[in-house]
Amino acid sequence: MLISPPHNGIARAPDQLTWRGRLSAVSGRMRNDLQLAIITLYSLCVLVFIGPFAVYRLVNGDIVIGIADSLILICFLALAALAWNPRWTRLIANVLAAVAALGVVLVIMVLDLSPMWVLSTLVGNFLMAERRVALAVNSSMVIIIALQPDLFQNTAEHATFVSVVGMTSLFSLIFASRVRTQRAKLHELAARDGLTGAFNRRSLDNDLTQLLETGSRQTHSLAMIDLDDFKKLNDELGHERGDHMLKLLCKVAMDGTRGADRFYRYGGEEFVLLLPETPLAGAKVALKNLSRQFKQDQPADAHAVTFSTGLAEYTPGESQDAWLSRADTALRQAKRDGKDCYRQSISSRTIE
């Protein structure tokens, strides 16, 4: 009996891996970008709760309202799709908040629905949009509804609406502000080295990727920095002294560089100084100033600690790994040439 080769698993593995990769990427974006997650959730809720109403009204001949519901649904889904482009997420969040508020106002006034429909939009807008935009949009929505006494059965219901909406807005604003503050702190912790406070290697990868993706024609430089004889320093004076010198170098670097410059701990006693829109001539000046200040800030009665540096100017078209590699090669040359100096690399040629 001939047994046909199995078709389960092996043949479909590439597709499965592709879909798993895509789902993983989508999940990662949603976890890391709260704004995008809320936009997506907002749009899915609109699809689930407004979509059936649109279909029902169109089927039952209520064409005008059915078309209105459909347009709202299409608008939300289209904006949510645009929001997946990182360049558009922030703008789309603000636009979507305005669209949601306008849609709620129209639905309440045209369909004579309960004014309490504004509550879900209030909370969603504070979480999704920028605070100033959410305040403006939500305030406008509430004021428009509150100025329509015919929407309420009596004065008590009108007053109840104003009170409930006011409290919901206040608590939503506080909650949304707290969430943003906590996420900013977590992002800062994830982006920095725990010992020195310098940005970490993950931040370096992200910043280099973003810098090179902009396609800027400006000249960029980076410096690979390594403390000289650091192992000897730890062995003779202890790790506490070594940690102190690492922290001191980072403090001097972060205090003495421009706002656009960034200082990263690359690993151990090795660091990277990124100098956007700076040619090698400017990078040399920055490194000389850093070296001088680092020596001055060390205790006068202690053995002076120095560092060696490899400089590299970005060559258009090269990868960030190649750029870092050239700086690392120049750094090794500086170590061989006696330390406490810098060497530079230009288009893969290392010179003094």
Question: Which residues have a catalytic role annotated?
Answer: 269
Residue 58 makes CB contacts below 8 A (sequence gap 6+) with 66, 67, 70
Q: What is the DSSP string of 173-212?
A: HHHHHHHHHHHHHHHHHHHB-TTT-SB-HHHHHHHHHHHH
Q: What is the DSSP string of 265-306?
A: EEETTEEEEEETT--HHHHHHHHHHHHHHHHHTS-TTS----
Residues 130-138: contacts with CB under 8 Å, at least 24 apart = 130/90, 130/93, 130/94, 131/173, 131/176, 131/177, 131/180, 133/94, 133/97, 133/98, 134/97, 134/173, 134/176, 135/173, 137/97, 137/98, 137/101, 138/101, 138/169
172 in Cβ contact with 136 (< 8 Å): no
Report residue 300: phi and psi, to 5°: -65, -30
Lookup: tokens for 244: 């102190």
Residue 133 makes CB contacts below 8 A (sequence gap 6+) with 94, 97, 98
Residue 214: CB atoms within 10 Å: 9
Lookup: tokens for 24: 């993983």
